[in-house]
Amino acid sequence: MTNPLLTTWEAPFALPPFERIEDAHFAPAIEAAMAEDMAEVEALAANPAPPSFENTIEGLMRTGQTLDRVLGVFYNLAGADSTPQREEIMREFSPKLAAHSAAIFGNKALFSRIEQVWLAREAFGLTPEQDRVLMLVHRNFLRAGAALEGDDAARMKEIKGRLATLGTQFAQNLLADERDWQRALPEDALDGLPGFVIDAVRAAGKERGADGPVLTLSRSVIVPFLQFCPNRSLREEAWRAWVARGENGGETDNRDVAAEILALRQERARLLGYDDFASYKLETEMAKTPDAVRGLLMAVWEPAKARALEDAALLEERMRADGVNGPLQAWDWRYYSEARRREEFALNEAELKPYLQLDRMIEAAFACANRLFGLDFRALDVPLYHKDARAWEVTRNGQHVAVFIGDYFARASKRSGAWCSAFRTQRRFPDVQAPVVVNVCNFAKGDPALLSYDDARTLFHEFGHALHQILSDVTYDMISGTSVARDFVELPSQLYEHWLEVPEVLQEFATHAETGEPMPREMLDKVLAAATYDMGFQTVEYVASALVDLTFHEGDPPADPMAEQAKVLDALGMPKAIVMRHATPHFAHVFTGDGYSSGYYSYMWSEVMDADAFEAFEEAGGAFDPAMAQKLEEFILSTGGSEEADVLYTRFRGRMPGVEALLKGRGLAA
């Protein structure tokens, strides 16, 4: 039987042949691709010709093409549409792939060639991009332990394999807890809920084969339920299930998994000569040091906490007026905050949502990209990996630029959250390759599907990441698109959120699902006025998570992460009615891989820049100023990781920003 993953892909735009791919194809394809990659690497290392950039660094870029292609399909499907078979493949191949990577980075002959090219780099007449790629390759090998010898090298290989296994286990435990918990709701529990929440729990019940409405732990269902459910005991039950993900005891409990991950990361950093994992991880980021990260977070923490405590007192008064005694609790905050928002801004999310149709918000994101960058989007009728996914061809001046896939609806097989990924990244070497980019979200289904304002911001956020991939224009895929410092990668996504708040965008695309009428100017003004509402709560839950993440990775790892988490929150004076946005047992950003470990702060680091960058548009002539759009593409969106992030940002803006624009943007400035 021919394995479609290993054949030439004949679908339009060389898309994966999704309709022919079965779970049984993945394991043999990965095995074959790993063997091919290793043979290519060994041949490269054994090349008798003197090392050069072309035969060593570019040679390395030529290896592993089949493996990259196969894993691009597998990992995208495993995250967006998991099956028991895919989960088993993840468990089987995570340590195998880690060992495969360790063998490449530990290949002494290969590293010797890279080292020789590095030492003689000035003799090769490299372009700035080639010089950057050489530096990154050399640095990546050193940071992976290529210079380690003997027992240290062997131990590094063991650590990487174990971390890969634990990251997979953490992710699958979390998915299992989110998938398995459900609460059947009697009809009277729907009293007081707006129509879109009722539609969401009915749709969840239908998906799970229940006779009636079902509450699940999908964020798109549980957060609005906590906002609108008047039944306090039911809110408490739902909230406790939500925050208990990953710490329910038994096989899916993540607390010991997190502790082992932290210990192994610290050991890995020490083997490489760093004091702790935070110092190792932050060395290559814009922040550079843990002290710089903590300085930013604490500069925001105090004004955010002060605002949150003021808001908590007001919400507690409302609770008292409802006849509820005792302190405000975490399961009360969203409910009473929503009531306060309705009163202070005369803004009711149930009235707002019909104006935020998913399809119209997709159109809005596309239209902004057209006005800013000249991109056009044409719907494609092609086979995809799930019936809910949709695809568009992206063109500019009639020329093909990319394929964009949107997968927007929550389902039990999809991990929580929202993300941007790629089946294929942009490059010009070793062949010209147009990107295939995917945005994955977890919005509630409906007819039509309606978004909260936060949902709409998420859609724009992830599309900002997609634009970073779509507009990439570099030679080598290792610096393509979002292959940048972690605390820079969120700049394009968070910056793009600002266009949702441009009045003319909402005026055109925020149209009522039933009447087709545009959002009334009065409601639009209220939406924009309320943009920073409840920002104390949102900032506190985020910054607390970022500070816990940073503390976990500074110094010696905690033997008991939960005790350390409690200690950090106590020292901060965490408001009692607010919890971390991501507590340790379900902190997927930090524990399913190294991506955001010691790096959850990066959203806020990027926000300092995105607030400043949008001010540049406003100062220049408005949100669609063509000269600023050209600068944004030229210096940030098209350049990938071809230069240091601070260099790119300074070229765009003329300087680096301070924290003032962020505090102003969040409504927290003194």
Neighbours of 383 (CB within 10 A): 15
- φ, ψ of residue 129 to 5 degrees: the values are -70, -40
pLDDT of residue 535: 96
**Is residue 462 annotated as part of the catalytic site, yes or no?**
yes
Q: What is the mean pLDDT of residues 553-582?
A: 98
Cα 349 from Cα 356, distance rounded (Å): 10
Rounded Cα distance, 389 and 409, in Å: 9
pLDDT of residue 347: 87
- DSSP per residue, 304-370: HHHHHHHHHHHHHHHHHHTT--S---HHHHHHHHHHHHHHHH---HHHHGGG-BHHHHHHHHHHHHH
pLDDT at 376 exceeding the cut of 80: yes
From 40, 349, 462, 490, the catalytic residue: 462
Distances from the Cα of 141 to the Cαs of 134, 263, 638, in angstroms?
A: 11, 22, 26
Residue range 145-186, pLDDT digits in tens: 999 999 999 999 999 999 999 999 999 999 999 999 999 999
Contact 556, 266 (CB under 8 A): yes
> Which pLDDT belongs to residue 53?
98
Per-residue pLDDT band for 357 (boundaries 50, 70, 90) equals very high
- Span 305-330, mean pLDDT? 96
Q: Which of 283, 311, 639 minimizes the C-alpha distance to 491?
A: 639
Q: How confident is the model at residue 137 (pLDDT cuts 50, 70, 90)?
A: very high
- Cβ partners under 8 Å of residue 583, min gap 6: 243, 246, 247, 545, 565
Do the Cβ atoms of 451 and 353 come closer than 8 Å? yes
Q: How far is CA 204 from CA 129, 176, 207, 240, in A?
A: 49, 16, 5, 19
Mean predicted confidence (pLDDT) in 27-39: 98
pLDDT confidence of 637, banded at 50, 70, 90? very high
> Strands 436-443 and 399-409: what pairing?
parallel
Average pLDDT over the chain, rounded to whole?
96
What was the pLDDT predicted at 74? 98
pLDDT > 70 in the chain, percent: 100
Tokens of 582: 């991501």
Give me the mean pLDDT over the 602-616 stretch. Answer: 95
- If you average pLDDT over residues 480-505, what whole number do you get? 97
1 pLDDT more than 80: no
Please report the pLDDT score of residue 350 as a whole number.
Answer: 87
What is d(CA 79, CA 52) in angstroms, rounded to the nearest whole number?
39
Torsion, Cα 68 71 75 77, to 10 degrees, reads 110
**3-state SS string over 92-129?**
HHHHHHHHHHHHHHCCHHHHHHHHHHHHCHHHCCCCHH
DSSP per-residue string spanning 573-627: T--TT---SS-GGG-HHHHSSSTTTTTTTHHHHHHHHHHHHHHHHHHHTSTT-HH
Neighbours of 414 (CB within 10 A): 22
The rounded distance, in Å, linking the Cα atoms of 329 and 323 is 15
Pinpoint the alpha helices (H) of 191-276.
195-207, 219-228, 232-243, 255-271
At 261, the amino acid letter reads: I
Residue 608 exposed, middle or buried by CB count within 10 Å (0-12, 13-18, 19+): buried
Q: How would you classify the pairing of strands 419-424 and 214-216?
A: unpaired
For residues 438-466, average pLDDT: 95
Helices (H) and strands (E) in the chain, counts: 27, 7
**Among candidate residues 375, 648, 613, the one with its CA nearest the CA of residue 493:** 613
Least confident range of 476-480, 586-590, 600-604, 661-665: 661-665
| Residue 661 confidence (pLDDT) | 85
Domains, in order of start, for the chain: 4-175 (1.10.1370.40), 181-245 (no CATH), 354-529+603-665 (1.10.1370.40)
In angstroms, the CA 660 to CA 669 distance is 7
Contact predicate 411/387, CB 8 Å: no
Produce one character per residue of 7-39: b if its CB has 16 or more CB atoms within 10 Å, e if not. Answer: eebeeeebbbbbeebeeebbeebbebbbebbbe
Position 257 scores a pLDDT of 98
| Whole-number percent of the chain with pLDDT over 90 | 96
The conformation of residue 477, written as its DSSP 8-state character, comes to G
- Kindly calculate the radius of gyration of the chain based on its CA atoms and give it in whole angstroms: 25
Give the pLDDT of residue 670. 74
pLDDT value at position 348?
A: 85
Mean pLDDT in residue range 530-557: 97
Residue 148: C-alpha distances to residues 7, 132, 152, 268 (Å): 38, 24, 6, 11
